């Protein structure tokens, strides 16, 4: 899994200093963009080719609240890659006492590849080349 660290900004939290639930999807997007960049190509290159990856499905499992200025690690991996779609998996982790990481949230997003007219289009070959090394083995669900 690719890892990137963030600290939620004041704009990310509500009056109780808890990260607003919708921001978790923004954190997922940040993890996804950084995974692609770390793979050697940026999402921007797809857009320049007239292709986009709209979200067709999103799921977040909230386990514990994230607060303003917590040091959070976004883990991002690829669950599967098909001709014109792909699924990313995410975990948001916070360092706990003793150096252990505590899972704060997990989830996934599914994306379809479309052209500028909104028609399904195959993923460019370079996307598969860059992201295939990030394919994660399937894992059993955790928690209750």
All structural domains of the chain:
2-134 (3.10.129.10)
Could you say which DSSP state residue 124 is in?
P
Residue 142 in this model has a pLDDT that exceeds 70: no
For the segment 68-89, the average pLDDT, to the nearest whole number, is 96
Sheet containing 2-6: order of strands: 2-6, 72-81, 85-95, 101-112, 55-62
Residue of 12, 14, 69, 97 with catalytic role: 14
Would you call 50 exposed, middle or buried from its count of C-beta atoms within 10 A (0-12, 13-18, 19+)?
Answer: exposed
Tens digits of residue pLDDT in 26-54: 999 999 999 999 998 898 999 999 999 99
**pLDDT score of 11:** 94
Close Cβ partners of 13 (under 8 Å, ≥ 6 residues apart): 19, 20, 67, 68
Residue 106 in this model has a pLDDT that exceeds 60: yes
End-to-end CA separation in angstroms for the chain: 23
pTM of the model: 0.90
14 is catalytic: yes
């Amino acid at each position: 899994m690719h890892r990137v660290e963030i600290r939620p900004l004041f704009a990310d939290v509500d009056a109780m200093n808890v990260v607003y639930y919708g921001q978790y999807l923004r954190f997922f997007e940040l993890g996804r963009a950084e995974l692609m960049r770390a793979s050697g190509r940026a999402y921007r290159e797809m857009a320049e080719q007239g292709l986009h990856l709209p979200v067709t499905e999103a799921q977040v499992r909230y386990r514990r609240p994230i607060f303003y200025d917590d040091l959070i690690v976004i883990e991002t991996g690829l669950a599967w890659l098909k001709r014109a779609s792909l699924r990313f998996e995410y975990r948001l982790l916070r360092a706990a006492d003793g150096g252990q990481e505590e899972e704060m949230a997990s989830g996934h997003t599914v994306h379809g590849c479309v052209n500028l007219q909104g028609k399904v289009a195959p993923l460019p070959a370079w996307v598969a080349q860059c992201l295939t090394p990030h394919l994660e083995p399937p894992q059993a669900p955790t928690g209750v």
